[in-house]
Structure 1
């Protein structure tokens, strides 16, 4: 997978994560906290509720230095107990 990313992306670059999780107030805060821990900065995630209001879709863009940074954040974000999917 790393080889595929490195051929498609030229580092450093912007990279957007889309996180789907249960609609709870702490979901966005937990996502931003993890991202800031690994890639300090100010973030303004885009948040969209599902039609039923059960889930949130949160898009957040970082400035990635390398593939390992992207991979590490995927692994950290999926560990959040409210998160159902990260892509």
Structure 2
């Protein structure tokens, strides 16, 4: 299938790169200091063992973390690294 200037798999590479960037940004926001808490420091709800193992240094339950994430400054969700437009400017 003809796809113009893009090589095969280019769209998937952009998607994968965007996801990897998002994961890296999330990891940088985490406070990986010390052991995970067993009780949420905001609402005092128990934090499940699976979450504590998956996210080292977790301090918030899923609901409180989701609320905190909504208040974070969001970056553009468009990966410009692989965009032809960004290379032409």
What's the TM-score, normalizing by structure 1?
0.28
Larger radius of gyration between Structure 1 and Structure 2: 2
Q: Which structure has more helix as a fraction of its residues? A: 2
What's the TM-score, normalizing by structure 2?
0.27
Q: Which structure has more strand as a fraction of its residues? A: 1
Considering Cα pairs closer than 8 Å and 6+ residues apart, tell me whether 1 or 2 has the greater RCO.
Answer: 1
